[in-house]
């Protein structure tokens, strides 16, 4: 029995990891590590305490499954067990009927959501703007993904919130000179009146809307403007799909993107980047800017306390 349990433990690290690659190549190294960490806890804290583990069905004892899924705080615990079950079923170690029985048992437990953080990390942004979001299987999906990336990039680069995106017109965009008007511009606020357009934003605009001349009063995101939930629906590509959500530390929204960008720039520049954001926002009070500054000062105070401790 001990030999069999040892074999299971080793196979999870090797064969099961390879199976995850085979099943879904979109699984990141970090996601696979979470699954394996969850399963190691399951084995050490539940299977090791049992005196009878003689075949693969014993791994999924319902009382052990219940104890594990009600105590384990990991957001991936349920998915780890579900994938392990599929792994043994695929390799014909368990019967079809047992597979369906445990699959239905797992459905009783809701996957735990990790605490939603107030800020995104630099790794989150690397994923958001990587090719990992690209989808080429269906034209509709590809267009939605490109539209999402455009919205994310405009929000990240120009601090645009939903209202700004809905009010952005083709008169605000100069494709020839590659500039975008700052919709927060106010002479009294002393902020800049326009931004330089990045190459990626230019290419996405051309890909989605073409180069043909448009009326200045036409809204760029006309199809999103009529539905106040349209941005959230678009963000569902990230927040509502397991493959993408598990690669992020937190749910994504435009306000979070803005304050996270500010915070990361402040950290990277030791606070010197603050003036760049005042050039965007002007002297008008902004909640995302204030929130990011407060978080930066908290982090700095904590760092100073550690330095003097």
User: Does the pLDDT at position 3 exceed 60?
Assistant: yes
What's the rounded mean pLDDT across residues 104-126? 78
Write down the pLDDT at residue 45. 80
Write down the pLDDT at residue 135. 55
User: Quick one: CATH architecture of 122-308?
Assistant: Orthogonal Bundle (1.10)
Write down the pLDDT at residue 75. 66
Write down the pLDDT at residue 304. 67
Separation of alpha carbons 78 and 111, rounded Å: 6
User: Does the pLDDT at position 132 exceed 70?
Assistant: no
Residue 152 Cα distances to 16, 125, 146, 175, 190, angstroms: 35, 10, 10, 19, 26
C-alpha 21 chain-centroid distance: 20
Phi first, then psi: what are they for 173, rounded to 5°? Answer: -115, 130
% of residues, the chain, pLDDT over 90: 44
pLDDT tens sequence across 234-279: 999 998 888 888 888 889 999 999 999 999 999 999 999 999 999 9
Write down the pLDDT at residue 139. 47
Separation of alpha carbons 165 and 195, rounded Å: 15
* Long-range contacts from 96-100, C-beta under 8 angstroms, 24+ separation: 98/57, 98/60
Q: The tokens of 298 are what?
A: 């908290």
Write down the pLDDT at residue 143. 85
Phi first, then psi: what are they for 109, rounded to 5°? Answer: -105, 125
pLDDT tens sequence across 161-210: 999 999 999 999 999 999 999 999 987 778 899 999 999 999 999 999 99
Task: Tell me how many degrees the CA angle 235-237-240 measures, rounded to the nearest 5.
Answer: 90
What's the rounded mean pLDDT across residues 295-299? 89
Q: CA nearest 118: which of 274, 262, 284, 277?
A: 262
pLDDT tens sequence across 7-26: 766 777 677 777 777 765 54
Write down the pLDDT at residue 78. 86
Q: Output the pTM of the full model.
A: 0.62
Separation of alpha carbons 58 and 50, rounded Å: 10
Q: The tokens of 178 are what?
A: 């590659």
What DSSP state is assigned to residue 193?
Answer: S
Write down the pLDDT at residue 133. 65
Residue 159 Cα distances to 36, 109, 153, angstroms: 39, 39, 9
What DSSP state is assigned to residue 25?
Answer: T
Per domain, the residue ranges of the chain are 2-106, 122-308
Please report how many Cα atoms fall inside a 13 Å half-sphere around the Cα of residue 101, on the Cβ side: 10
Q: CA nearest 76: which of 245, 253, 235?
A: 245
Structure-token match 């699959």, residue found: 103
Q: CA nearest 153: which of 288, 223, 243, 258?
A: 258
Where are the strands (E) in the chain, listed by range? 173-174, 179-181, 194-196
96-106 and 62-71 helices, crossing angle to 10°: 30
Work out the mean pLDDT of the chain and round it to a whole number. 84
């Amino acid at each position: 029995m001990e030999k069999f349990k040892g074999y299971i433990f080793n196979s999870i690290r090797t064969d099961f990891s390879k199976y995850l690659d085979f099943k879904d190549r979109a699984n990141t190294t970090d996601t696979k590590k979470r699954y394996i960490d969850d399963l190691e806890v399951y084995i050490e804290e539940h299977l090791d305490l049992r005196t009878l583990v003689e075949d693969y069905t014993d791994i999924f004892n319902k009382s052990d499954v219940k104890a594990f899924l009600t105590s384990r705080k990991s957001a991936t615990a349920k998915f780890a067990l579900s994938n392990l079950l599929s792994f043994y079923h695929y390799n014909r170690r368990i019967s079809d009927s047992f597979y369906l029985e445990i699959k239905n048992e797992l459905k009783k437990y809701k996957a735990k959501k990790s605490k939603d953080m107030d800020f995104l990390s630099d790794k989150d942004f690397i994923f958001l703007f990587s090719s990992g979001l690209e989808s080429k299987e269906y034209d509709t999906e590809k267009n939605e993904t490109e539209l999402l990336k455009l919205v994310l990039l405009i929000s990240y680069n120009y601090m645009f919130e939903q209202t700004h995106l809905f009010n952005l017109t083709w008169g605000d965009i100069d494709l020839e000179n590659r500039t975008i008007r700052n919709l927060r511009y106010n002479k009294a606020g002393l902020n800049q009146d326009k931004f330089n357009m990045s190459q990626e934003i230019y290419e996405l605009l051309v890909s989605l809307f073409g180069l043909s001349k448009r009326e200045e009063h036409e809204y760029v995101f006309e199809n999103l403007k009529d539905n106040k939930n349209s941005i959230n629906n678009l963000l569902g590509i990230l927040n509502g799909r397991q493959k993408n959500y598990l690669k992020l530390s937190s749910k994504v929204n435009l306000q979070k993107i803005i304050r996270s960008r500010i915070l990361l720039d402040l950290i990277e520049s030791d606070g010197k980047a603050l003036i760049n954001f005042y050039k965007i926002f002007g002297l008008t009070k902004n909640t995302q800017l204030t929130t990011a500054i407060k978080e930066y000062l908290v982090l700095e105070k904590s760092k100073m306390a550690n330095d003097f401790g």
